[in-house]
Structure 1
């Protein structure tokens, strides 16, 4: 078999219907769109229109809001940290920071800092400098003999328009 002899199985593909090519084709004149009206025209997309009935996106209530002051933390569980220590990706003697976690491959982007969560077991004595931690994580770190320092976020400088 050669490349020029390769072909589809019979009946696997169907050629597209050419519309508007005379009444003998069965799809002439109006091309299967019916007669006149909005849906017979080109460029019409009536998404969400329900024939005059109140559309679903307007019947449902609005919920929630965007918090411009919300923080997006990288969340890491103690179990994953212990696995990284066992694999040798985290140095026990060094302080665990945002940068060291990126270097070890545990997180990919810095975001607004790291939050340590208490799922899993931590046996290694580690010292942390992170943005946030849960109460159970702090208790587990201190029980393992480690220490944790929570970093304070610097307040953002006021803009010129806010002073005016």
Structure 2
């Protein structure tokens, strides 16, 4: 092996295609752009979603749905999640400290998923009818 015979591995290097440099290059004349039309011209392209003047898809389809910006301030918690807490007096601040609801949450509601293991006293927290019934049946209170 000599220094002048060292070559990179096959496929390790590829050469940049030089277009518009004569017929011998294989990419002369139209330089791979085809004949005529907007895409063959210098600077001739269009913005994303442009369909040649036809009404674009995002404008043809109807607007649909609504996502409230206030939803991020609402949170829900399950009865099973309440069982993870040591205390039975529960409020929004306690739930935030425990990491069970988001720090942004202002309105918290208990939903009936799971079972109640002890009597919980909820203050400043809402509950669905079924969750309220389960908490009251276990000897707790919701206010």
- TM interval, shorter chain, is 0.5 to 0.7
1:64 paired residue number: 65
CA-CA distance at 1:105 after TM superposition: 2.2
Task: Give the TM-score normalised by structure 1.
Answer: 0.60
Alignment of 1:139-158 (within 5 A): 139-149=133-143
Q: What are structure 1's unaligned runs of at least 5 residues? A: 1-8, 85-89, 150-164
Moved more, 58-67 or 99-108: 58-67
Q: Is the 8 A contact 1:92 1:125 kept in 2?
A: no
Q: Taking structure 1 as reference, are residues 142 and 59 closer, same or farther at Cα in structure 2, changes over 3 Å only? A: same
Matched, 1:105 2:99: yes
> 2: distance between equivalents of 1:129 and 1:100?
11
Count of aligned pairs between the two proteins: 133
Q: Is the 8 A contact 2:21 2:28 kept in 1?
A: yes
> 2: distance between equivalents of 1:127 and 1:43?
69
1:115 paired residue number: 109
Q: Deviations over 1:25-53 (max 9, x none)?
A: 44456553335643344484443233444
> 1: distance between equivalents of 2:59 and 2:42?
26
Q: What are structure 2's unaligned runs of at least 5 residues? A: 1-8
Task: Give the TM-score normalised by structure 2.
Answer: 0.67
1:152 paired residue number: none
Question: Could you tell me which of 87, 90, 93 is aligned with 1:92?
Answer: 87
> 1: distance between equivalents of 2:15 and 2:133?
67
> 1: distance between equivalents of 2:48 and 2:105?
36
> 1: distance between equivalents of 2:129 and 2:15?
64
Q: Is the 8 A contact 2:91 2:125 kept in 1?
A: no
Q: Is the 8 A contact 1:98 1:110 kept in 2?
A: no
